[in-house]
Structure 1
Amino acid sequence: MALVYQLALTQIKGIGNALAKQLIDHCGNAEEVFRSSKKQLMCIPGIGNRVAENILHKEVMDSVEKEMTFIDRHKINVLFWTESSYPNRLKQCVDAPILLYFKGDTNLQTKKIISIVGTRNASDYGKRICNELVGSFAKDEVLVVSGLAHGIDSFAHQACLENNISTIGVLGHGLDRIYPAANRRLAMDMLKNGGLLTEYPSGTNPDRQNFPSRNRIIAGLADVTIVVEANIKGGALITAEIANAYNRDVCAFPGDINRITSSGCNHLIKTHRAHLISSANDLAYLMNWELMDNNNQGKQLSLEITLNVEEKEVYDIVKENGPISIDALSYKVNRSQSKLAVLLLALEMKGVLIALPGKMYRIP
């Protein structure tokens, strides 16, 4: 029953992801949103007369019933904002979808998740980078995310399949179709070790405006976004900019200064929007993944160092979790990253915390 109301909430006219989350915060869950009176609804900031009427009339229930049938028939997992199945990394992004449709078999909370993006007009150089980069993760627990588009996306997904690495394709349409159609076989193979993910219900066409929107999911699911080969304009650079806005790491492979498909990567590096990498070893160093795999315990806090209540809370969480990202830490202490940065700096100055590459922190 809960799923019915969760689906309905996403299909009410005038309600986007931000307003849907606000409704959940005020009412407790999706079902209670629809059980609220008009007076109660209009007391919620952002809810006017028309939106309240749309909620109360429940005109979307017919389409919800069709979607439920589609979900059941195709064994699709629905991941709702308030549930533990919703990807933790994406939940930390302010504009994350309130609901996701997922078909496949993989762990969306994998320890290491990377997004690989790039041009649709990939060269042999781009394909070689994809193969070498992905191949280097063959013995590691890594999930690779991309967009199932022609070019770099497809090469990255295919390299994952060849190396038995889980890979997710984020779609700009419903799960009732595959776009581009030429990637249908690739998409079906990905369901065996990975899957397909979208915020769009069945029946949604692959319209142009959907793809920049889906790029925020590609960036938000991952610890780091890697731009392999890209023009200075296009979806790959949009994804990189979104990742930067999320305070996630961005890496780029440099390319020939005279090649248009390298202009985007070179621009990101030149303007300090991406780390320059030339191999998986560079990526591992920047992300501090070797240290993350080393479960050394932090040293005992000196009795001579005095921490206030907030500092002690942050210190204890870092000590308990080992190397931890600022995103994960912000989520655990329920503080904005700007406020958390002040506390982290104070702890660094007191010598009880160390900042690592990849926006990670650990105890000395």
Structure 2
Amino acid sequence: MSAKTVEDIALTLIPGIGVKGVVHLLEVFGSAERVFAASEEELAGRAALRRDLAQRIVRREGFAAAEREAAHCVRHGLGAVASTDGAYPSLLRETPDYPHIIYVKGDPAVLAGPCVSVVGTRDASAYGQKMCARIVHELVERVPGVCIVSGLAFGIDAAAHRAALEAGGATAAVLPCPLPDVVPAQHTALAREILERGGALVTELHSQVKQKGAFYLARNRIIAGLAAGTVVVESPCGGGSLMTAHCADGYGRSVMAVPGRADDPSSRGANLLIRNHKAQLVLSAADVVEELMWDVDLPGAAARAERARPELTAAEASLLASFPASDAVTLDELVVRTGQGAPELSAVLLGLEMAGAVRQLPGNRYLRLL
């Protein structure tokens, strides 16, 4: 591996500097190379690091371990993709706690196209597996290059990967363990098939991490971060998939859920997401595509496009004109743009939503649709 790759790996292996610490250093200096070229004074001053941490970087304490990790990657055919590399997934890079290095077995290019995360309970019912397979099959058929992202766990995760493979699509599994190991081990054959079909296995964990079962929740943020939206198919109230949904919402990504029976404990979490307006109810790939506002040719799309523009009040038209052409805008930004109060704007925004002119996104943001 190149010297640059070793430097990138070494930055993540400096004792005492965690994921967000690495993100902070990259924001200040721009690259691992520049971090290691900085003096102790620069690290303590510009980056506001504690002296002991700055000294560890200056002493290049992570380099011996990084050399071992680079050798491990070569030995097992793994790629170490840094966040400053062009191959790094752009959506993951937008999250505030992205891992600077992801270790990939397979083709990282599958994560460059449109991605949807599909997660759910390990104790999946026949209904949950059927709905998962239906939505994934339809997505693969109708969205060119779509990649289905999940966690290779029992239940819905495995069903999502298998459905993508059956439909001839790409899928990526985010693992809570270092590669080339697979967790759960019972899904080693499924992982092998994912690779054989052009997919990828992904982890942020290097081989020198001791697996203590503490990485599942951290893994879930990557599942959420890789995708434009997360679909929850069956989840109890305490399921890990709800954490994935929470992460997706925190990243400003779309959260969707398939409704289940009201008295089914395995669907209680997903149903609560819908009831509490934390997730959009979806029943098909068409619903997912509409929620993500992807421009693909789905049945009924032409008819929707031909609908007459809604009639807006003067206040609604004036507020709509203050929206940027493509980017989402927050309520606070609209207050500044218009000089009007938040309560007054909220009432007008509700009218615009009902007219289909704007859509509310997570984080109290609004996107113009017309």
Smaller-chain TM-score range? 0.7 to 0.9
Q: Which residue of 2 aligns with 1:108?
A: 111
- Cα 1:358–1:48 change in 2 (3 A) is closer
Contact kept in structure 1, 2:28 and 2:47, CA below 8 Å: no
- Structure 1 residue 25 corresponds to structure 2 residue 27: yes
- Cα 1:231–1:75 change in 2 (3 A) is same
Residue 242 of structure 1 aligns with an amino acid whose one-letter code is C
- CA shift digits 1:51-74 (9 cap, x unpaired): 112212223222111111122233
Gaps of 5+ in 2: 306-321, 340-347
Distance 2:94 2:337 in 1: 19
Distance 1:129 1:206 in 2: 33
Contact kept in structure 1, 2:23 and 2:97, CA below 8 Å: no
Distance 2:256 2:217 in 1: 19
- Structure 1 residue 150 corresponds to structure 2 residue 150: no
1:145, CA displacement in angstroms?
A: 0.5
Q: Which residue of 2 aligns with 1:88?
A: 90
SS in 1 for 2:111: coil
Distance 2:267 2:116 in 1: 20
Q: Which moved more, 1:164-173 or 1:21-30?
A: 21-30
Q: Which residue of 1 aligns with 2:226?
A: 221
- Structure 1 residue 162 corresponds to structure 2 residue 166: yes
- Structure 1 residue 173 corresponds to structure 2 residue 177: yes
- Structure 1 residue 246 corresponds to structure 2 residue 235: no
Residue 248 of structure 2 aligns with an amino acid whose one-letter code is A
Distance 1:119 1:219 in 2: 16
Residue 191 of structure 1 aligns with an amino acid whose one-letter code is L
Count the aligned residue pairs: 329
Residue 134 of structure 1 aligns with an amino acid whose one-letter code is V
- Cα 1:344–1:276 change in 2 (3 A) is farther
Root-mean-square deviation (Å): 3.0
Contact kept in structure 2, 1:148 and 1:169, CA below 8 Å: yes
Distance 2:4 2:195 in 1: 26
Q: Which residue of 1 aligns with 2:39?
A: 37
- Correspondence list, 1:201-216, <5 A: 201-216=206-221
Residue 78 of structure 2 aligns with an amino acid whose one-letter code is I
Distance 1:40 1:152 in 2: 48
Contact kept in structure 1, 2:78 and 2:103, CA below 8 Å: yes
Contact kept in structure 1, 2:115 and 2:227, CA below 8 Å: yes
Q: Which residue of 2 aligns with 1:58?
A: 60
- Structure 1 residue 268 corresponds to structure 2 residue 268: no
Distance 2:87 2:336 in 1: 30
1:345, CA displacement in angstroms?
A: 8.3
1:16, CA displacement in angstroms?
A: 1.6
Q: Which residue of 1 aligns with 2:343?
A: none
- Cα 1:33–1:356 change in 2 (3 A) is same
Contact kept in structure 1, 2:118 and 2:157, CA below 8 Å: yes
Contact kept in structure 2, 1:179 and 1:206, CA below 8 Å: no
Contact kept in structure 2, 1:6 and 1:30, CA below 8 Å: yes
1:129, CA displacement in angstroms?
A: 1.1
Residue 104 of structure 2 aligns with an amino acid whose one-letter code is F
- Correspondence list, 1:317-328, <5 A: 318=326, 326=328
Q: Which residue of 2 aligns with 1:189?
A: 193
Distance 1:274 1:78 in 2: 34
Q: Percent identity?
A: 34
TM, length-normalised to structure 1 = 0.81
1:211, CA displacement in angstroms?
A: 0.8
- Cα 1:48–1:108 change in 2 (3 A) is same
- Cα 1:47–1:165 change in 2 (3 A) is same
Residue 94 of structure 1 aligns with an amino acid whose one-letter code is P
- Structure 1 residue 230 corresponds to structure 2 residue 235: yes
SS in 2 for 1:136: helix
- Cα 1:265–1:35 change in 2 (3 A) is same
Distance 1:5 1:345 in 2: 48
TM, length-normalised to structure 2 = 0.80
Distance 1:109 1:35 in 2: 31
- CA shift digits 1:236-260 (9 cap, x unpaired): 1111111111121111111122221
Distance 2:211 2:119 in 1: 18
Gaps of 5+ in 1: 297-310, 319-324, 331-336
